[in-house]
Amino acid sequence: MIINHPILGPRDSQEFVYLGDASLMTRPDGMTAGIEEFHDWLYNRDNPAGLHRELWYHEQGDRSWLVVTRNTVTHEITSVELARDVARKMGRSK
Amino acid sequence: MSQSNRIAGGQIDRSQTFRFTFDGVPYQGHPGDTLASALLANGVRLMGRSFKYHRPRGPLSAGSEEPNALVHLRSGARQEPNTRATVAELFDGLTATSQNAWPSVKFDALAINDRFNSFFTAGFYYKTFMWPAAFWEKVYEPIIRRAAGLGSLTRQEDPDEYDKGFLHCDLLVIGAGPAGLSAALTAGRAGARVILADEDFRMGGRLNMETLTIGDAAGADWAAGVVAELASLPNVRLMPRTTIIGAFDHGIYGAVERVSDHLATPAAGKPRQTLWRIYSSRAILAAGAIERPIAFENNDRPGIMMAGSLRAYANRWGVAVGDRVAIFTNNEDGLRTATDLRAKGVDVIAVIDARTDGTLLPGIRHLKGAEVIDSSGRLALKTITIRKADGKTETVRATALGVTGGWNPNVNMTSHHRARPVWDEGLQSFIPGDGGPPGLIVAGAAAGHMSTHGALATGQAQAIAALELLGMKAKADTLPKAEDAPISITPKWYVTGGKGRSWIDPQNDVTVKDVKLAHKENFSSVEHLKRYTTLGMATDQGKTGNVIGLAVMAGLTGQTIPETGTTIYRPPYTPVAMGTLAGRSRGKDFKPFRLTPSHKWAEEQGAVFVEVGMWLRAQWFPRPGETHWRQSVDREVLATRKSVGICDVTTLGKIDIQGTDAGAFLDRVYANTFSTLAVGKCRYGLMLREDGMVFDDGTTARMGEAEYVMTTTTANAVTVFRHLEYCRQVLWPDMDVQLISTTEAWAQFSVAGPNARKLLEKIVDQDISDDAFPYMGAGEITIGGTRGRLFRISFSGELAYEIAVPTRYGDALIRRLMEAGQEFDAIVYGTEALGVMRVEKGHVAGNELNGQSTALNMGLGKMVSKKKDSIGMVLSQREGMVDPNGYRIVGVKPVDPKGQLTAGSHFLEIGAEPVMANDGGWLTSKSTRRIWAAISP
Amino acid sequence: MRPSVGQHCKQVLNRSKGGAGMRYSGFRVIAEALTGHKGWKPVWRDPAPQAEYDYIVVGGGGHGLATAYYLAKEFRQARIAVLEKGYLGGGSVGRNTTIIRSNYILDGNEPFYEFSLKLWEGLEQDFNYNAMVSQRGILNLIHTDAQRDAFVRRGNAMMLNGADATLLDREQIRAMYPWLNFDNARFPIKGGLAQKRGGTVRHDAVAWGYARGADLRGVDLIQNCEVTGMRIENGRIKGVETTRGYIGAKKVGVAVAGSSSRVMAHAGMRLPMESHVLQAFVSEGLKPLIDGVMTFGAGHFYVSQSDKGGLVFGGDIDGYNSYAQRGNLPVIEDVAEGGMALMPAIGRARLLRTWGGIMDMSMDGSPIIDRTHVEGLYFNGGWCYGGFKATPASGWCFAHLMAKDEPHKTATAYRFDRFLKGLMIDEKGQGAQPNLH
């Protein structure tokens, strides 16, 4: 596969490490959320057959974490964003 | 020996003669020959035996779809099993032997299977060999396994090298027949970066095998002219002897280039084959079509082959397969073979034409509405039996029979993304369906355009279309004149009426009867048919015969062929050598070596090394007279305990963490607290995964107000760094914290033992007395002016430090340390002694930190602060993880230190029955005097 | 309890409206051969779905068919249907590397897999179909001391659970396979853990044997019947919507590994798993080279040789979520590199076919056999890439759960709530990241 890195351009996916569903970005706050909320966030997945937003890490590259939107049936990639930008848009900060 | 069946013409170089042997018999051939064409030229038709019935077999085809003519090519360590003689390029000195036959291909003992064929039907083995129960593994299966397989490996290491490479292009053209050449020419002239790949050693595809003309030139000459023009274009790369093996995601194609297979041995420094990964913006599949047979009784004898191949051997290689040739056809193409052969002076005794319409070939016995119903000849074809339109049968003498049931567009690669081909009623064939690999379009016969004109025109049109999508303009040059004959075909899949066997999949010995049995037993879906009968699972993957099996099944179920469906093709297009796929990653080069800065010095000391991940670390340093590793390790431990020992610990992961939020960041990623750590001090840190299990541990030092240096375990250096980047970029994107891995930037040595300080004081420029540099102190230092870092930490239980210098000074530092340590009898120790000392001190390491342990299991539960949010804190509180009855890692001193204990041993009460209910835990690590164990309370 | 396999050889054929009830044997094969194979009967019927069943098993793969078989045979239940969206045995049971073994380390797993291995040992006589259960042994190679420590612990745990395990040293392995890479290896072979009772089974025949056995006992095997919805009223399952119409059921068990998330979404569930593609490989047929199963401990590569002569091998999953049933080049190359590193003599053997199967990769690498929040709806999945060897025990335990509404004693740990309770069964210690298991 080829991932079109937003800064570096098209790169073979072999340069990247895969983590999983981008829903992992919505980590609850450990001082307010309890076990049930953390459990649902960490363990359960939509696991769609179709568009999937997922986290990839450019380990053999610039170390960017990326949010890749990819179809799990066709493997077509429709968007690649820097995860930090996405996280900030989601309201994550410190 | 004379080439008895060689006739005039062809694209072989008769000015040179190659000598070769088959089964030890010497023969001669010419450059341009394949092994099959050369053997056929010498009158050799028997080249192998089939898998199940050991039937005598000769080539069915003249290409890579060959199911029958499989041989051992070369000898010794270079012996290559299952090599298709039809594509093995002849070279001087070639040796080949037959396979799957004993004692010889002519007299094969296991041909007895053929006698018992009525027992060995499809799937018979599922119904028997069950009694007595123990006999399957003891008796039946060993017999079956001994007979299994076709060719054999010599068990010697493959002496050849293989390479890998990467190529990029605008347009990849797969196949260099008329369609592919037309496409490549169109795109090449337009300036696009083109790769044209063809599995053959001579480009031109069918044009090399036909007597057709293009414009005023012979087809083969036109092809040679186009190839010459393409070769002159700097933007075009021609790749003959290159098979595109698969269409992968996003325009990536795998390709195997046979760099040296046409030579006796690869030239010095050259690989045998190269695996290319081709990144293409667009691709055109111009892979042509593959002829299919018509099944009839005993249609598998040497001498019976595809009609188009019979023609190819005559036209391209100057070989008449037999002196009396018959043609069995259901389509117009069969007549082309008859005409070409006759023009070459071959005696064409009859054309048996299943069609009843159309014109008769003048001057040839052309039987309309007739069928071939049987053949004879044990090792080669002797007679065929014809059933004529009036129902009368006639047996005639024939030494070769060309069969054609029509041509299947070569849709193979369009299925690599699991798209299903669709049925074309006019062609009576499957053609590419929707949903093929994105960016791949099809031209020529592969798309069902079966004429030469169709190939040229669609090749050109598809190239223009492909380039347009890339924003490039290509010109539609006037096409040269070429034949544009319509398709005339009457469906004919197999001949009915007889009681014998009609082969569909000749290699696996799947016959029409097997399909009928599968139907009778309700294995009627195409997937069940394939799996039950093994149809299409041979090394040719059913390229010629699969569709016949489908047609037979369709006839039995009363469905149409498209209703019956088809299985799909998967990569690779043709089988690929394992060596090619592995490239240079084998032997010692399987993975890169990471060497520590003191490696060279350690080698000089005669160290024994051990693989630790990719690292090679000194395991112990034997001294003269030490005959057992225990002696060396004991000496290293005792000397360290007594005075001072030095160990290279560079492999530990090192991460510099800087920024105003660095302390707060560490509080989040460690279970314990680091923001309160004083500058100039270090602290042991425990890192959890988000699921609350222990991830890693190590010491982290605060070098400045906003600057920390983290160490990780060797094993987790990469994953911890990745995780920290994740936390920084994804979870808390606005934290002011920067990371860099410095694992390879610093050489680091542990200096441990009562004399450690005395030794270091000799080389460190600063005051490192206990007051100036107390326990758990950390700071910048200089060593003779060279900058370095010093940490007063110990994992071995003694007064100990870790000293670091930039990696390039690592070798100098170890030499300096050892020299300065001479007066203290300083020794160097390896990973074994390190392990012994850490167990005795009571530190957990890899065997305990196995990803299945909680902080509580480790006895480190109190380190998990609940006053702050940190990775893993919440889920570490789940009921199963705070169970007071869970196991604990404890140190144990053996009552009898002489007793042998093995790590991994389980504890049972003396006399207790050895069952899991009595399990008391297990021994995780051991040293010479103490062990670490996980104990169930 | 030892499984009572073999005790039921006196099969109750034609007990209900099942198939023709033909018993297979060598004598039958000979008799048919002499009479032109005219007497063979369909291996299963193609019944139309009835309006209602007591039990519906969704999924006609290995686990679903085994579940239906044991429901009928061992638990004496009736009115059972298996609904399969494609063809019987078309899931992972027909797309795996055919290995059986019970060499697990953790308490939640090992008794279950040992139960499965014992069922394999009596399977052919039990269902009167030669699935070629072949216990030629499995050998896990050891390349580091830490690996040896872990394998010793594992071997001991296996023996404490009644399984067999043998620790071999380097020279014993050299005696078995002298042509492995002993002298020029990047990660030298230091030993191995062998389980002699491990081996291989002809995978398709497992599906067919169970299907035939179930059909004989009156189970309706309904192909080309995809479940498109579930009817749930007052928290209780009523039936399933399918491409062949609504079918009522008192109890519904879902065993559709690879499609688990999609099917269970019909019941409003999000599962603790991701779907990943695992590629597998077979070489051209070769004369005998490897007797048993072997795993390389310093790379991702495992291999055996089939009774037809092909080297059957595999390695790591591709690593990204996928429902595509096909993989990419990097893993193909990685697997070949592992193969060549271990066996330099296979350089000139050719890879014939690759294929990709979809795996339910669970959050701890272990499966789930459990009830759901919907009464009467049961779930079996999350097998990662280890489901084939589990087929008999999975079917037995799932049938047990559905028939008795309580888990079989070897499968009590395979619960959904183990993640909430922190009772993960994580053999590899990788945590909640499915692609690492």
A39 contact C CB<8A: yes
Last residue of a domain, one of B560, B583, B606: B583
Would A68 be classed as within a structural domain? yes
pLDDT given at position B839? 87
Question: Which chain A residues touch C323 with a CB distance below 8 Å?
Answer: 49, 72-73
Q: Tell me, what CATH number does B794's domain have?
A: 3.30.1360.120
Share of chain B above pLDDT 70, in %: 99
Q: Which domains does chain C have, with CATH numbers?
A: 26-130+202-271+364-436 (3.50.50.60), 138-199+274-362 (3.30.9.10)
Would B480 be classed as within a structural domain? no
Q: Are residues B506 and B448 in the same domain?
A: no
Binary contact (B731, A84; C-beta < 8 A)? no
Last residue of a domain, one of B383, B405, B427: B405
Of the pLDDT bands very low, low, confident and very high (cuts 50, 70, 90), residue C15 is very low
pLDDT tens profile B620-675 = 999 999 999 999 999 999 999 999 999 999 999 999 999 999 999 999 999 999 99
pLDDT tens profile C164-178 = 999 999 999 999 999
Q: How many domains does chain A have?
A: 1
Has residue B934 got a pLDDT over 80?
Answer: no
pLDDT given at position B897? 73
Q: Which amino acid is at B933?
A: A
Binary contact (C430, B690; C-beta < 8 A)? no
Q: Is C54 exposed, middle or buried (0-12, 13-18, 19+ CB in 10 A)?
A: middle
Range of the domain at A50: 2-89
Say if CB C257 and CB C347 are below 8 A apart. Answer: no
Q: Are residues B131 and B169 in the same domain?
A: no
Question: Which chain B residues touch C355 with a CB distance below 8 Å?
Answer: 570
Has residue B929 got a pLDDT over 80?
Answer: no
DSSP bridge partners of B197:
B174, B239
Residue found under tokens 């429709």 = A78
- Alpha helices in C40-144, H assignment, sequence order: 62-73, 110-127
* Torsion sign across C-alpha atoms C413, C214, C263, C354: positive
pLDDT given at position B545? 86
Over residues B387-397, the mean pLDDT reads: 97
Range of the domain at B173: 162-289+409-469
DSSP 8-state assignment for residue B807: G
Q: Are residues B503 and B462 in the same domain?
A: no
Over residues C72-83, the mean pLDDT reads: 98
Give the number of residues written for chain A. Answer: 94
Q: Starting at the edge strand that comes first in sequence, how are the strands of the sheet with B594-595 ordered?
A: B594-595, B615-620, B608-612
pLDDT tens profile B365-379 = 999 999 999 999 999
B732 contact A CB<8A: yes
Q: How many domains does chain B have?
A: 7
Q: Are residues B271 and B216 in the same domain?
A: yes
pLDDT given at position C4? 43
- Using DSSP, state whether C114 is helix, strand or coil: helix
Over residues B468-481, the mean pLDDT reads: 97
Share of chain C above pLDDT 70, in %: 95
Q: Which two tokens stand for residue B174?
A: 């797969």
For an interface test with A, the pick among B655, B718, B729, B740 (most A C-beta atoms closer than 10 Å) comes out as B729
pLDDT tens profile B550-594 = 999 999 999 999 999 998 999 999 999 999 999 999 999 999 999
Share of chain B above pLDDT 90, in %: 88
* Least-confidence region, from A32-46, B296-310, B520-534, B881-895: B881-895
pLDDT tens profile B259-301 = 999 999 999 999 999 999 999 999 999 999 999 999 999 999 9
Q: Using CB atoms, pick whichever of A24, A38, A75 lies closest to residue B875.
A: A38
**Residue B919: what are its φ and ψ, rounded to 5°?**
-70, 130
CA B816 to chain CA centroid, nearest Å: 49
pLDDT tens profile B47-73 = 999 999 999 999 999 999 999 999 999
Smallest CA-to-CA distance from C31 within B73, B788, B118, B580 is with: B118
Say if CB B690 and CB B673 are below 8 A apart. Answer: no
Q: Are residues B548 and B565 in the same domain?
A: yes
Q: Are residues B643 and B754 in the same domain?
A: yes
Would B487 be classed as within a structural domain? no
Of the pLDDT bands very low, low, confident and very high (cuts 50, 70, 90), residue C385 is very high
Q: Using CB atoms, pick whichever of B250, B729, B869 lies closest to residue A65.
A: B729
Q: Are strands B48-49 and B694-704 parallel, antiparallel or unpaired?
A: unpaired
The CA distance from A81 to B479, in Å, is 47
CA dihedral B304, B307, B310, B312 (to 10 degrees): -150
Has residue C12 got a pLDDT over 60?
Answer: no
Q: Are residues B353 and B450 in the same domain?
A: no
Has residue B928 got a pLDDT over 70?
Answer: no
Measured N-to-C along each axis, helices B178-189 and B452-469 cross at an angle, to the nearest 10 degrees, of 40
Has residue C17 got a pLDDT over 60?
Answer: no
Has residue B132 got a pLDDT over 90?
Answer: no
Q: Using CB atoms, pick whichever of C319, C328, C420 lies closest to residue A39.
A: C420
3-state secondary structure B54-77: CCEECCCCCCCCCCCCEEEECCHH
Would A16 be classed as within a structural domain? yes
pLDDT given at position B936? 67
Would A17 be classed as within a structural domain? yes
Say if CB B923 and CB B905 are below 8 A apart. Answer: yes
Q: Are residues B355 and B271 in the same domain?
A: no
Say if CB B307 and CB B403 are below 8 A apart. Answer: yes
Binary contact (C435, A18; C-beta < 8 A)? yes
User: pTM of this prediction?
Assistant: 0.96
* Range A6-38 burial, b when 16+ CB lie within 10 A, else e: eeeeebbbbbbbbbbbbebbebeebeebebeeb
Say if CB B296 and CB B374 are below 8 A apart. Answer: yes
Q: Tell me, what CATH number does A29's domain have?
A: 3.30.2270.10
Would A94 be classed as within a structural domain? no
pLDDT given at position B119? 87
Q: Are residues B903 and B864 in the same domain?
A: no
Give the number of residues written for chain C. Answer: 437
The CA distance from C257 to C271, in Å, is 12
B740: closest chain A residue by CA: A63
* E-state strands within C198-329: 199-200, 220-222, 227-233, 236-242, 245-254, 273-285, 293-296, 301-305, 310-321
pLDDT given at position B846? 86
Q: Which two tokens stand for residue B737?
A: 């914290």
Distances (CA, A) of C137 to B198, B351, C335: 44, 57, 22
pLDDT tens profile B168-215 = 999 999 999 999 999 999 999 999 999 999 999 999 999 999 999 999
Instruction: Enumerate long-range contacts of B203-207, CB under 8 Å, 24 or more apart.
Output: B203/B176, B203/B227, B203/B238, B203/B240, B204/B176, B204/B177, B205/B175, B205/B176, B205/B177, B205/B178, B205/B180, B205/B181, B205/B288, B206/B177, B206/B178, B206/B288, B206/B308, B207/B177, B207/B178, B207/B452
Would B486 be classed as within a structural domain? no
Would B148 be classed as within a structural domain? yes
Over residues C365-385, the mean pLDDT reads: 97
Mean pLDDT of chain A: 98
Of the pLDDT bands very low, low, confident and very high (cuts 50, 70, 90), residue C20 is low
Q: Is B24 exposed, middle or buried (0-12, 13-18, 19+ CB in 10 A)?
A: exposed
C274: closest chain A residue by CA: A47
Q: Are residues B426 and B498 in the same domain?
A: no
Q: Which two tokens stand for residue B164?
A: 């890998």
Q: Are residues B18 and B129 in the same domain?
A: yes
pLDDT given at position C51? 98
Binary contact (A31, B869; C-beta < 8 A)? yes
Q: Are residues B658 and B643 in the same domain?
A: no
pLDDT tens profile B883-892 = 988 889 988 8
Mean pLDDT of chain B: 95
Q: Which amino acid is at B402?
A: G
* Torsion sign across C-alpha atoms B227, B229, B230, B232: positive
Would B477 be classed as within a structural domain? no
Over residues B849-877, the mean pLDDT reads: 95
DSSP 8-state assignment for residue B337: H
The CA distance from B560 to B538, in Å, is 25
**Residue B846: what are its φ and ψ, rounded to 5°?**
-50, -40
DSSP 8-state assignment for residue B445: G
Of the pLDDT bands very low, low, confident and very high (cuts 50, 70, 90), residue C5 is very low
Say if CB B358 and CB B489 are below 8 A apart. Answer: no
Q: Tell me, what CATH number does B338's domain have?
A: 3.50.50.60
Would A77 be classed as within a structural domain? yes
Of the pLDDT bands very low, low, confident and very high (cuts 50, 70, 90), residue B894 is confident
Say if CB B442 and CB B289 are below 8 A apart. Answer: no
Distances (CA, A) of B655 to B698, B708, B738, B801: 11, 8, 10, 18
Binary contact (A84, B729; C-beta < 8 A)? yes
Q: Tell me, what CATH number does B718's domain have?
A: 3.30.70.1400
Where residue A29 falls (left for φ over 0; alpha for ψ -120 to 50; beta otherwise) is beta
Share of chain C above pLDDT 90, in %: 91
Collect all residues with Cβ–Cβ distance below 8 Å to C100 and sequence separation of at least 6: C116, C117, C120, C133, C135, C198, C199, C200, C201, C388, C389
- Alpha helices in B473-541, H assignment, sequence order: 512-520, 526-533
The CA distance from C346 to B275, in Å, is 17
Say what the ipTM of the complex is.
Answer: 0.99
pLDDT tens profile B211-235 = 999 999 999 999 999 999 999 999 9
Would B485 be classed as within a structural domain? no
DSSP 8-state assignment for residue B651: T
A56: closest chain C residue by CA: C320
Would B515 be classed as within a structural domain? yes
Last residue of a domain, one of B880, B897, B926: B880
Say if CB C81 and CB C57 are below 8 A apart. Answer: yes
